[in-house]
């Protein structure tokens, strides 16, 4: 049985009906580069990223069940997050840095205990993973994930793990990768459902690339050459769900809002028991250019209007198609959070 405090913390990250409908603003160097390009100014890149994230945290968090924050700017964002919103902290030095390194590194000055003391309701870790990579490479990744799981277990903090599919030499977003993605996602989900990792919730990709699924609106918009039928896509969703030995939510993996919404609807059509979503760029990608041109005021106006509507659209789909992760009695039974304490207290 899971400790009561761990269940309480997980419940604090859910909607009133037990779903995770969460916003991610943990993107690192890739976001910093995009913000620099949008502003046309290479100076003060860190300050620009901090400003962008804190504005989003303040104005979008009231419409999210939880918010995922990064190592560098998480404390500042947490301080302005709505008090009814759960706090997820990324336990990693960066996310999606764009280089070839596939082993996630942990912040040397952080620990699960310290993050929990500063108000984290749950911890998230990502790792690029290919089941067919050399076994010695995968052993390094598996051992690190086991250690983080044990650390979370020891501190009664829920552990969300995000396996990101890749294949050396095969570019993501291509027909070649779309053909092998269902197998990579399914086998990764099966691996990290094993109890030794102590993972409470898996944050997973769709097992298909909608741009290559015949009959989808995404394929029509994005012009992919379909190599998968709609019926096959639904079977891939079901096979992935059957491989899951623990609850799971879907991540957006940088796709458009329209593509992510269509994927959630397909998951519902397939009848898979997903527990909600945790997405970032699908919601706020348009805000990068708005912030670059108009600054914080323009960003806040966008967030209070279109940004919130985008989140509400995804939550409406989840309400129709997802399955609660926790029981109603455990939702919003909140531990103390949002108060950022000093390290070591």
Q: What is the pLDDT of residues 304-314, one digit of tens each?
A: 999 999 999 99
- Taking residue 223's Cβ as centre, other Cβ atoms within 10 Å add up to 8
Residue 7's nearest CA partner among 244, 250, 328 is 328
Averaged over 312-337, what is the pLDDT?
Answer: 80
Which CATH number is 4-322's, of 3.20.20.70, 3.40.718.10, 3.40.50.10210, 3.40.50.620? Answer: 3.20.20.70
Q: How do residues 188-238 score in pLDDT, each as one tens digit? A: 999 999 999 999 999 999 999 999 999 999 999 987 788 899 999 999 999
Which pTM does this prediction carry?
0.93
- Residue 122 pLDDT exceeds 60: yes
Phi and psi dihedrals of 68, rounded to 5?
A: -100, 120
pLDDT at 186 over 60: yes
Q: Are 22 and 338 in contact (CB under 8 A)?
A: no
Of residues 226 and 296, the one with the higher pLDDT is 296
Q: What is the number of H-type helices and E-type strands within the chain?
A: 12, 8
pLDDT at 342: 44
Whole-number pLDDT of residue 345: 37
The per-residue pLDDT for 2 is 62
Mean of the per-residue pLDDT values for the chain? Answer: 91
Residue 99 has pLDDT above 80, yes or no: no
Any idea which of 6-10, 194-198, 313-317 has the lowest mean pLDDT? 6-10
Half-sphere exposure of 101 (CA within 13 A, CB side): 10
Roughly what angle, to the nearest 10 degrees, separates helices 45-60 and 29-39? Answer: 100
At 139-165, the pLDDT tens digits run 999 999 999 999 999 999 999 999 999
């Amino acid at each position: 049985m899971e400790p009561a405090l761990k269940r309480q913390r997980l419940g604090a990250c859910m909607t009133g009906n037990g779903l995770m409908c969460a916003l991610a603003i943990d993107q690192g160097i890739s976001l910093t580069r995009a913000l620099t390009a949008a502003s046309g100014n290479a100076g003060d890149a860190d300050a620009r990223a901090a400003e962008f994230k804190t504005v989003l945290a303040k104005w979008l968090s009231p419409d999210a069940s939880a918010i995922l924050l990064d190592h560098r700017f998480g404390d500042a964002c947490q301080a302005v997050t709505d008090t009814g919103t759960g706090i997820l902290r990324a336990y990693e030095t960066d996310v999606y840095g764009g280089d070839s390194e596939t082993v996630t590194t942990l912040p040397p000055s952080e620990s699960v205990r310290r993050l929990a003391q500063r108000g984290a309701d749950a911890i998230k870790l990502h790792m690029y993973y290919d089941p067919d990579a050399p076994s010695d490479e995968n052993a390094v990744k598996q051992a690190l994930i086991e250690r983080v799981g044990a650390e979370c277990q020891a501190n009664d903090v829920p552990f969300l793990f995000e396996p990101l599919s890749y294949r050396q030499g095969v570019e993501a977003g291509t027909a070649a990768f779309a053909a092998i993605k269902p197998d990579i996602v399914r086998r990764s989900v099966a691996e990290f459902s094993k109890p030794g990792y102590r993972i409470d919730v898996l944050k997973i990709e769709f097992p298909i690339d909608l741009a290559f699924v015949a009959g989808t609106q995404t394929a029509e918009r994005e012009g992919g050459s379909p190599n998968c039928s709609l019926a096959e896509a639904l079977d891939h969703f079901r096979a992935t769900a059957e491989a899951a030995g623990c609850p799971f939510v879907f991540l957006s993996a940088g796709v458009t809002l329209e593509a992510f919404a269509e994927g959630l609807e397909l998951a519902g059509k397939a009848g898979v028991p997903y527990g909600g979503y945790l997405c970032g760029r699908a919601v706020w990608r348009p805000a990068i250019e708005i912030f670059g041109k108009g600054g914080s005021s323009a960003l806040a106006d966008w967030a209070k209007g279109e940004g919130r509507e985008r989140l509400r659209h995804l939550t409406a789909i989840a309400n129709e198609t997802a399955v609660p992760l926790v029981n109603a009695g455990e939702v919003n039974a909140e531990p103390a959070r949002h108060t950022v304490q000093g390290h070591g207290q």
